[in-house]
Structure 1
């Protein structure tokens, strides 16, 4: 599995952009700078900020880094106060041992406390106006007073009031500063001046990294931007702000409410805060393929030093792609040396799916979505392995790609064709796949769009492939019961319990529950179980065998359709271990075993049948 956190290891040559931004900040000297790392959801903004941070840390200049995640504080604290305190406290710590800087840093923190006190008052007033219980310090005083005001006075009420008043007096000493009363503009000016003096006394450049701003509610996003505005464009400061600029523009519109503002005004609001916008570059086919390669390498059993060598080589190669140097399977395997066979197979898969992952409207080379795709693929492979269902990883990946990016109606048609086919082969795809591979026009309009054409041309070809195992492994997406099945809630519960069980014999408890159901529902349940059973590739004694035997135990008449299913198994699917278990069926010796003996079955199966029939 691959995590979705930002990374300091570059997989797509973002380092080139990160170094450029780092150089801009270094060359700016004491001049203020604000940089916006822009891009859509999941494109890699946080990773880009992390790489910029790493580049600056590796430089010789003295920086004080402050990382602020506005989304983390949303709902727990005032956005303005949170950002100011996030800046103030590291400055105070940095000033330790520097008397002049410490005095100024403490003064700056006092002004931050003033801002926070204003937030407490505003929050309590808003709560009262809405008829809600107040929060924080003033809320405690309010609640203590309520017991006295309602006439039901107790000793606890007096004690609570005394404690709240005492706490208010102590906290007031911190909040109500300075002693002389100043207007908000004066306090803000004093705050900015102390901030400037503190940085000068420390002789350090402050770099504030703001992330996840676009995840915030509109009012929180705007409050954070407004707080940043106090410190932007002040000497010895650089702000690096990661945000989806489209989302921020929507937040600006929401902030102004019903006031009609044109697009230029919205753009100007954001542009006035950001001096240099840096857009995270979208990934092309080359980068997506390299990204997939390195994700597979990171999960492999190669030594860590080898993984790092491969990563650096691939990123170096990507920087030369404009010269015609590509990162393909041949190249990465040459860097690895003796490439493990499993890893080589994964590289083949990456090579096949990279173009579609780049051009598909549903993925468009988005690193986060690519990771999610691979994680889903890993989960389904694990499901197949745990259920002893043999599936081809390339086929499973191709199916998942169509599920996530293709037409959902066509996907449902494909799954239905697989389930209804006796051998699990969607033969209707034969002509479509042939047309796609040869470049001929696809006559069926439903399959003629560019994505479907590319998907049909992918290997492996589905028309002559048993895909029952692939469908079974995808059951986390496919519903057990569709709206057209008309099963009662009781029947649905029995079906789900049956399919999720792993018995070692026919379940008497479930058989008794099945007997209570109407005949029609037992038949529908049998159809569902048989549909799932067709996904099994090897018939020894899988759970599906005992699911079917449980149905027969509940209703003897169901032995006929279930026996018909067993008779139609392919010879290669039959394992000798199933023979003793099936021999208890009335139709086993009469119909199933004779039919199997006419197939190309293994010698152990023949011997097992001979033992049971003699």
Structure 2
């Protein structure tokens, strides 16, 4: 199994990025500097940060200090700015050499942080007037005003009160002219002076997991860097998803009417002077990563590192080549070395080679669906090995190739996986319908008219290129295999959120899937709904209930589908209005308002009912609704 966190071993060939960022961070010529390491969720940003920190620690330069901050760890703290400043100052205080030189300056800065914490807490809790009180003796007023606002969490309450007591002494020393703005300026000046006095060449602050935080926390942390900490001899390396930052900026600084200015882009450029983007892994990269994860499970750490070194020396990653079993054998020298020394205890060579073979066959299909995301690759393999272990505990005789192939379909197209399940249920474990699909997929000379005939019988998703690729992947002839024990291990995936309770026939399920297919163009979807309406042999009520049940957890994704049905089926409109009202705030967008214009064209009363509901429940503001509504 693999932990869902940053790897300590570079199996993604990210060493060049770590080397680049390390060199930039240590360059005095571009200091102070904030580097943005941008990449999608699960793309390997944390791995790069770990490699950078490891390089810095390995050099053991006493004049270079690194501080690794996991921003998510401070999510529960009341003030992100002061939490970040405090962790940096505490790290410096823990360094005995630095403390000897600038201990008093660090204490002074810590006192200022406490002052900011008290002030920021007061503002956030609705008592800003306390901050503007004269500083002759403001502390009793602050305490009285904040008594009712202390956090309920006991630890936070203690920290807040301790900060207040420190701030009391600090405030006595302040002149009456000083205010928040002046204290920001003074903090920057004192922080910069402390850095000079410490004789440090560089303070490198590495911030990870910021994109897991709330939008407010993200902005607070970025503003703390810009306002307080970006002084000479400091370098920040921030790993984050650029889209998440953009969303956070837009939440705090919404676009004004029709302004063309991209606030989020300008904001990021002001904070981050040097953006470095981790590219999405190619399909070949993901395939190699899957094989290396299998190697990590079986090989001892020293031999895994030997394998990675050998692959780099052969420039496998640079050339974009796929790792072969022969290459693994050659680098590890399976022929002459003691195999027991190469593998971890409890593993055999035959099992290792079998699992390399299993994932070598299905990796191409898996990699094309993971969208270059290494974290998703880990999660897929973890699920596979959980199923494998469960089968061993229950003495099930599984073919690991079949297990892997079925899991790929489950992972990529859950509705087709469920359809395969219903086929095998009807035939005591044998999905006989798959035979026709497989044969027509494998026949390169098949007639187009025959394909069209088969397409009318099955869900159109079976004919998507990626699914066709899955059908052709070894092992073939799944229709000759008893699949019951494989589906037994996937019981949670078989449940279809209420659809299973409707006892739909295969034809009814096909209508549900065809109308709800995400890839379907809207014009074709409308045509499908019209055909559905005209077919009087169908139980329309059951199929509509099936469509509603299918997307209970994501109404935004299927609201257009329901509106099409609303237009075509007058008898179901009252029930569908109830479904419209289930849209949650986070699922709502201005585009949703435009979508409801179709309801307005059919029934103005229903439209008004829906509009009033969303405004009353504060799902959307009346001003936003009316601004979107006016042009139409």
TM-score, normalising length: structure 2: 0.66
Q: 8 Å contact 1:232–1:239 — kept in the other structure?
A: no
- Give the conservation status (yes or no) of the 8 Å contact 1:381–1:473: no
Cα distance in structure 2, aligned partners of 1:329 and 1:192: 57
Residue equivalent to 2:542: none
Match of 1:449 in 2: 464
What is the aligned partner in structure 2 of residue 79 from structure 1?
80
Q: Is the 8 A contact 1:206 1:237 kept in 2?
A: yes
Q: Quick one: structure 1 residues 263 and 284, their matched pair in 2 at CA, closer, same or farther if it must change by over 3 Å?
A: farther
Structure 1 counterpart of 2:121: 120
The answer for the alignment partner of 2:10 in structure 1 is 10
Q: State the Cα distance separating 1:125 from its structure 2 match.
A: 3.0
2:8 and 2:74 map into 1 onto residues whose CA distance is 24
Equivalent residue number for residue 487 of structure 2: 471
Q: Which residue of 2 aligns with 1:203?
A: 199
Distance 1:68 1:97 in 2: 19
Give the Cα–Cα distance (whole angstroms) in 2 for the partners of residues 167 and 472 of structure 1. Answer: 57
Work out whether 1:270 is the aligned partner of 2:268.
yes
Q: 1:38 to 1:384 in 2, by over 3 A?
A: same
Structure 1: give runs of 5+ residues left out of the alignment: 130-135, 145-162, 488-614
Cα distance per residue 1:81-116 (max 9 Å; x no partner)? 101111222223336576552232222222222211
The equivalent of 2:512 in structure 1 is none
Q: TM-score, normalised by structure 1?
A: 0.68
Q: For 1:21-170, what aligned pairs fall within 5 Å after superposition? A: 21-28=21-28, 31-59=31-59, 61=61, 62-94=63-95, 96=97, 99-125=100-126, 141-142=147-148, 170=165
Structure 1 residue 212: Cα displacement: 1.3
1:15-58: per-residue Cα shift (whole Å, max 9, x none)?
11111111122233572121111111111111111112222223
One of 407, 430, 447 as aligned partner of 2:435: 430
- The answer (yes or no) to whether the contact 1:30–1:235 under 8 Å persists in 2 is no
Aligned-partner SS, 1:4: coil
CA shift for structure 1 position 69: 2.2
TM-aligned CA deviation for residue 411 of structure 1:
2.1
Shift of 1:397: 1.2
Hey, what does 1:19 align to over in structure 2?
19
Contact 2:77 2:83 in 1 (8 A): no
1:160-179 Cα shifts (integer Å, max 9, x gaps): xxx9xx98984443452633
The alignment partner of 2:494 has SS state of coil
Question: Is the contact between residue 283 and residue 366 of structure 1 (CA under 8 Å) also seen in structure 2?
Answer: yes
- Cα distance change of structure 1 residues 30 and 266 upon mapping to structure 2, 3 Å threshold: closer
Per-residue Cα deviation, 1:423-476 (whole angstroms, up to 9, x for no partner): x22222223223434545655442221111110011111122221221112123
Residues 440 and 394 (structure 1 numbering): CA distance in 2 closer, same or farther, change over 3 Å? farther
Match of 1:328 among 314, 324, 327: 324
User: Superposition RMSD on alpha carbons, in Å?
Assistant: 3.1
The offset of 1:477, in angstroms, is: 2.1
Q: Deviations over 1:463-513 (max 9, x none)?
A: 2222122111212322399655579xxxxxxxxxxxxxxxxxxxxxxxxxx
Deviations 1:51-91 (A, max 9, x none): 12222223364321112222221233310110111122222
Number of matched pairs: 455
Judged with a 3 Å threshold, the aligned counterparts in structure 2 of structure 1 residues 43 and 481 are, in CA distance, closer, same or farther, namely closer
1:87-486 matches, within 5 Å, as 87-94=88-95, 96=97, 99-125=100-126, 141-142=147-148, 170-176=165-171, 178-181=173-176, 182-204=178-200, 205-231=202-228, 233-257=230-254, 259-260=256-257, 262=260, 264-300=262-298, 302-317=299-314, 319-323=315-319, 325-338=321-334, 340-360=349-369, 363-406=370-413, 408-422=414-428, 424-439=429-444, 443=452, 444-445=454-455, 446=460, 447-461=462-476, 462-479=478-495, 485=501
Question: Which secondary structure does the structure 2 equivalent of 1:191 belong to?
Answer: helix
CA contact (8 A) 2:39 2:278 kept: yes
Structure 2 unmatched ranges of 5 or more:
131-141, 151-157, 340-348, 504-632
C-alpha distance after superposition, 1:131-181 (max 9, x if no partner): xxxxx965774599xxxxxxxxxxxxxxxxxx9xx9898444345263323
| In structure 1, C-alpha distance between the alignment counterparts of 2:127 and 2:324, rounded to whole Å | 60
